[in-house]
Structures are given as C-alpha cells and as structure tokens.
Amino acid sequence: MANHRTDPATGAHTALGIDVGGTGMKGGIVQLGTGPGAGQLVGSRFRIPTPQPAVPASVADVLGQITAELDARPEAPPSTLPVGVDFPAVIQNGICRTATNIDPSWIGTDVDELFSEHLKRPVTTLNDADAAGLAEVRFGAGKGVAGTVLVITLGTGIGAGLFRDGELVPNLELGTIELDGAIAEQRASAAARERDGLDWPEYAERLQRYFSYVEGIFYPDLFIVGGGISKRPQDYLPRLRLRTPIVPAALRNNAGIVGAALWATDVLAESPARATVLETARRAADREMARQAEADADAEESDGWDGAPTEAVAAAERSAGTAGEAPGTGTAGKTGDAVKTGKAGKPGKAGEKAARLRKKADKAVKRAAKAERKAAKEARAVHKAMEKAIRRSGR
C-alpha cells in the first residue's frame, strides 16, 4: 500500500508502467507530476524475458507477474489506479491492428480488455514509440519544445512518435516506409546493424538516408533518437547532416515505462470525458489508504489489550475460572455455572470482564470485515467504470 497521496501543489503521484518488448518485458513504478523526481523511476525496474511464442495468453501471464512484483513494493500506487502498458504495434482504441514485430495472433485482440481482465484492474495500452515520445516530450529532451517533434526509436524495428506542441499524433508507422528498396526497419534499425555486421560509419550512412527522407516529409523542429541505441549517440549522431536538430533521448531505455504510466494517468486526466472517472479512482484510492492507516493505528493502540484480544479474553476467563474453584481443591465448584456466576448465581467480576472483552473483540472483527467488504465493492465499481470509459472515449 502506497504511503502517500496525490500532492495538490505539484500533482506528484506514482503510477505503474510496463514496456512489452520483443525480447523482454519490463516494468517500474514511475514518479509523475511536476515536482522533484518527476519522470523518474522509484526504485529499480523489474524485467522478465518475453515469452516465446509471445501469444496473448502467455504475455498476459508475464504482465501479471511483473505487476504483482511492483504491487508488493511499499512505493506502489493503490491498485484502484490503472496500469499503463506500451506495445510494439498499432493500438487503436485498445485494439491491436498490426503485427510487424509481434505474433500475428494479436491482430484484432482487444489488448485493453485482455490485460484488464487478467490483472483485475484497469489497463490502458498504447504504441511503444508513442509511449517513449510522451515521456521525452513531457520530461526529457523534448520538454518545452514548441512546434513539431519527431521521436524515432531504433531497436528491433523502427518506431516513431509525432508531437505537435506537445500533443500526440498516434500510431505513426515510419518503420514501414520504403528505404533502398526494402522496409526501412529492415535496413536502418539497430537490429539490422547487428544482423548485417555494420560498423558505425556504415550504419550512419543508412541512418542519413532514412532521416533525410523523413525530414523531407514532416519538416520537424526537433528529432529525438530513442531505443537502446540512444546510449551511444556519439557513435552515429555526429556523422548525420540534417537541417533539423537531432538529439538522443534523455530517458533512454526507461522512456517506454515512463510514457506508459503517463498515458494511463495524466493523459487520461487531460481528456474531459475520462477525467471524472480517474478522479473517482483516485478518491477511492485515498479512502482505501485512509482506511488502512486507521486500521494500522488501531492495531498500534491495541497493544494494551486489542493487539491480542484473544489472549486478553483468555486471561480474563482463566481468572474467572480460578474464582469459581472450591478453596483448597484446585477444581471447579459444584457445577460449571459456578465458574460463570460466582456467589448466589451472580456473574463474577472476572467473568464480566471476559464477556466485555469478548464482545469488544467481536465488534472489532465485524467492523474490519465490513470495511473490507466496502473497500472491495468500491474497487470493483471503479474498475468497471474505468474499463467502460477507456473503451468508449477516444484517445
């Protein structure tokens, strides 16, 4: 359970982001808002190899494992908030439309619905390059840049995120354009460089042709290069000759995780049709955290007797039993009722204390059970409302 709420001054809060890649699936807890640490991971990221074949059921299982690991951390956000997932395909209103770098069985799959049902909580998905671009424009190399920003990710394929004054134009598939008689990502991706054994000058020549072509179509104000290759910008960026400034991604390999978390919460809130639903989820999360804090405080205060009510009651009952014993015999009086009633059939003091403690303990258990049922009901209602809004509202 998270130990902090949304800060109204900075919007600081945490969210879960998960990046589904061709070789690995990795997730993290992301600090969002505008305060210190915004756009960074809280703690380390958690990675599991992508299952092979990467069919929907097996990917959903791994997604569940990653979410469970992150949820168990003390910094984790409340489970009433949605999880953001980036995916290596065109995602249109939660539906997978392409399968260039994933298993063909994904085409037509409602990825939002699949992951939401598997995790039992709201999940929103988007294209992986769009997620990386969101992170860079909000927190990284494109922060504060006006005009057109084009984020190109070089990895197994080529992804692209297009932004105009910070607004995303989703699902721009610039890895599938033609370059030198072939699909561009087969010639200029990071995987193509390794496959063809290219040194950096040779690879830079291919990138030059690719970026020059894209530049002539979009005339961007800034190129940002992301993906794993962004760790080595000095090997290829100085060799490129473009009109447009080109810089490496600032968030590097964490950009997808950060962007996915951002999409599921902050971008969701910016849509008027969906902001109310997210606010309902956050209020439910705050109520659940307050309930948990109250329960923890009650447990601490109960160190006198409530911390172990059964032991207190047992001690009182033992005392009551001793009071009802016949002097010098070590055994109970004439009947078992004598233990409970004492003299003249009236309840003994120890017996009364035991009864009061037992009654108080029973009430505490009932209150806790009622609160738990109420919290579970609220979580289910929020989950259904989030799923409905996610499916019906536009991105």
What is residue 333's predicted lDDT score, i.e. its pLDDT? 42
50 and 95 housed in the same domain: yes
Rounded distance between C-alpha atoms, residue 313 and residue 321, angstroms? 12
Whether 194 is covered by a domain: the verdict is yes
What is residue 332's predicted lDDT score, i.e. its pLDDT? 42
> How many other C-beta atoms can be found within 10 angstroms of the C-beta atom of residue 329?
8
What is residue 107's predicted lDDT score, i.e. its pLDDT? 96
245 and 348 housed in the same domain: no
196 and 169 housed in the same domain: yes
73 and 127 housed in the same domain: yes
214 and 315 housed in the same domain: no
What is residue 351's predicted lDDT score, i.e. its pLDDT? 74
127 and 264 housed in the same domain: yes
Rounded distance between C-alpha atoms, residue 258 and residue 251, angstroms? 9
Tokens representing 359? 């009654």
Q: What's the number of domains the chain is made of? A: 3
How far, in Å, are 193, 306, 315, 366, 374 from residue 370 at the CA level? 60, 18, 28, 6, 6
| pLDDT one digit per residue (tens) for the chain, 395 residues | 344 456 666 667 899 999 998 889 999 999 998 888 899 999 999 999 999 999 999 999 999 999 999 999 999 998 878 999 999 999 998 999 998 888 999 999 999 999 999 999 999 999 999 999 999 999 999 999 999 999 999 988 999 999 999 999 999 999 999 988 999 999 999 999 999 999 999 999 999 999 999 999 999 999 999 988 888 999 999 999 999 999 999 998 899 999 999 999 877 556 554 555 555 555 666 666 677 777 766 666 554 444 444 555 555 555 555 444 444 444 444 444 444 444 444 556 777 777 777 777 777 767 766 766 665 565 555 555 555 555 554 44
> How many other C-beta atoms can be found within 10 angstroms of the C-beta atom of residue 58?
14
Whether 152 is covered by a domain: the verdict is yes
Is 314 exposed, middle or buried, given 0-12, 13-18 or 19+ CB atoms closer than 10 A? Answer: middle
What is residue 207's predicted lDDT score, i.e. its pLDDT? 97
213 and 303 housed in the same domain: no
Q: What is the CATH number of the domain that holds 195?
A: 3.30.420.40
Tokens representing 304? 């006198």
Tokens representing 202? 């040779």
The domain boundary, picked from 240, 270, 300, lies at: 270
Q: E strands within 128-172? A: 148-154, 158-164, 167-169
299 and 187 housed in the same domain: no
235 and 265 housed in the same domain: no
Torsion of CA 115, 387, 291, 353, to 10 degrees: -80
Place of tokens 């009551």: 320
Q: E strands within the chain? A: 13-20, 24-32, 46-49, 83-87, 91-92, 95-96, 123-127, 148-154, 158-164, 167-169, 178-179, 182-183, 222-226, 246-248
What is residue 6's predicted lDDT score, i.e. its pLDDT? 64
How far, in Å, are 14, 35, 82, 282 from residue 382 at the CA level? 18, 27, 10, 9
37 and 181 housed in the same domain: no
CA angle 173, 59, 61 (to 5 degrees): 155
The domain boundary, picked from 270, 299, 314, lies at: 270
Name beta bridge partners: 226. 153
Name beta bridge partners: 327. none
The domain boundary, picked from 249, 281, 307, lies at: 249
How far, in Å, are 159, 203, 240 from residue 197 at the CA level? 22, 9, 20
Contacts of 361 (CB under 8 A, 6+ apart): 306, 309, 310, 313
74 and 45 housed in the same domain: yes
55 and 164 housed in the same domain: no
Among 205, 177, 386, which Cα is nearest to 186's? 177
**Which domain range does residue 188 map to?**
143-249
